[in-house]
Amino acid sequence: MRFDYFPHFQPIVDVYSMSIAGYEALARTYDGSGKVMSLGAAFADPNFDREELLQIDRCVRSRALAQLAASQQDVFLSLNVLPEWMRQVTVNADVPTIAMARDYGVPGNRVLIEFVESAGDLENMRYLLSRYREKGMRIAVDDFGAGASNMDRVISLEPDIIKLDMALFKQAMQGGVSEQVVQSVGFLAQRTGSELLCEGVETEQEFFFALDCGARYIQGYFFWPAQSGFLATDAPRKRLEPLLARYAERRVAVKEAQLLDYYQVERYFNDACARVGATTVPVESLALPPRSLQRLYLCDNSGIQLSPNYEFRHGDEAGQWQEDVSNCGMNWSMRPYFHEVLASASLDQPQRVMSSPYRDMRGGALCRTLARMLPGGRILLADVNCSDEEGGSIDAIKTWPEQARP
């Protein structure tokens, strides 16, 4: 076997501290002309001799740890460990990466073990990950969202970092359901105490989208490709400061527009609440609704829909209301916002309740539902379209004083 295998290091940028938090060690060699080339194809080739590949992998890991130890930089090193290598470590045997780190004097908290969870035996992974954690090493799940990634497995492994699948990230940039899935991964990371890392970031738009998804860590050519040495830890700051300023300006403009729209919807909804009949909504007496308002309907406090769906069509200049009776008699008591309405009424504090975003069954648009308990045990509900870009700031409407609203 040749021994001209060595690591290159791709910076991992921490957006919070505007610094380089760590590096991913990537295997390199030389081609026939002496040019540096990636060994990624060899690791992806199932026909490549596995014993030779294991020796190459350990050689690269060892050299990467040696270079980190010599640098004295306060950064972590991310090392990819294939699940098949994990299977070769028996109970109570030395773990090669742990032994390498010990031999080079690299503290465990400066090592991040990166692996693909969908390809390994769960119990074996749990055992080996516990060995890494005993030494203070952190854990990252790679390519999450690709193929057979299983959310339950990921949660049970309690990773410190969830690394989003690059292909899914690129697809999500086009919007639609993939975008919602990726943003849900960011939500999952927050709920489980993990950090989200987006790799393959190549443009400003992709960088901004990664921030929209809640990513703390960024990798990609937008900042730097993998290289032979380490950079100054504060190297990203000069570039990140204007980027984050532009991002904040963009998001503030989006949120201002959203808040203005929802204030208009809320005023319209309050007016409708004041005009509701026993089992009908007198839409003919209402003004033209905001464009985002999709439908109005009335339920009783057991969840049974009393009225038709009153849907407004904005097709012509005047617009028109249409009645759809197909949902009359349906029971919506299982919806989470319905429970919140009843809870607020039971405390003698009937408030307008707003649901989390969801996909409308009829048109597939992202929407929210407003609901308020009315006298006589009736509940008025309104479905409102919302932007695919919408985050959590709309919930601030609930906490703003009534007199402070436009």
pLDDT tens for 371-405 read 999 988 899 999 998 865 544 333 333 333 333 33
> 178, 204, 232: which is the final residue of a domain?
232
Cα 85 to Cα 105: distance, rounded to the nearest angstrom = 23
Cα 363 to Cα 332: distance, rounded to the nearest angstrom = 18
pTM above 0.85, yes or no: no
Structure-model confidence comparison of residues 236 and 49, the more confident one: 236
Is the same domain home to 258 and 114?
no
Cα 115 to Cα 126: distance, rounded to the nearest angstrom = 12
Is the same domain home to 200 and 227?
yes
Is the same domain home to 179 and 226?
yes
The 10 Å CB-count burial string (b at 16+, else e) for 346-357 is eeeebebbbbeb
pLDDT tens for 196-212 read 999 999 999 999 999 99
**Whole-number pLDDT of residue 67:** 96
Q: What is the DSSP letter of 214?
A: T
> 204, 232, 260: which is the final residue of a domain?
232
Q: What is the mean pLDDT of residues 82-95?
A: 77
Is the same domain home to 383 and 290?
yes
Is the same domain home to 201 and 307?
no
Domain assignment of residue 165, given as a range: 6-232
Whether residue 219 is contained in a domain is answered as yes
Is the same domain home to 329 and 294?
yes
CATH of the domain at 58: 3.20.20.450
Whether residue 205 is contained in a domain is answered as yes
Whether residue 184 is contained in a domain is answered as yes
**Whole-number pLDDT of residue 358:** 81
CATH of the domain at 269: 3.30.450.20
Percent of the chain with pLDDT strictly greater than 70 = 89
> 185, 205, 232: which is the final residue of a domain?
232
**Whole-number pLDDT of residue 356:** 84
Is the same domain home to 175 and 278?
no
**Whole-number pLDDT of residue 354:** 87
Whether residue 227 is contained in a domain is answered as yes
Average of per-residue pLDDT values in the chain = 86
Is the same domain home to 303 and 211?
no
Beta strands in 273-377 (DSSP E): 293-300, 309-313, 320-324, 353-354, 358-359, 366-374
Whether residue 243 is contained in a domain is answered as no
Max mean pLDDT range (30-34, 125-129, 215-219, 261-265): 215-219
Whether residue 241 is contained in a domain is answered as no
Q: Is residue 363's pLDDT more than 70? A: no
Is the same domain home to 337 and 190?
no
Cα 138 to Cα 263: distance, rounded to the nearest angstrom = 45
**Whole-number pLDDT of residue 353:** 87
Percent of the chain with pLDDT strictly greater than 90 = 51
Count of structural domains, the chain:
2
Is the same domain home to 139 and 265?
no
Q: How confident is the model at residue 120 (pLDDT cuts 50, 70, 90)?
A: low
**Whole-number pLDDT of residue 146:** 66
Is the same domain home to 268 and 219?
no
Q: Which residues pair with 331 in a beta bridge?
A: 304
Whether residue 237 is contained in a domain is answered as no
Residue with tokens 């050689």: 59
Is the same domain home to 258 and 392?
yes
User: Residue 191 — φ and ψ, nearest 5°?
Assistant: -70, -30
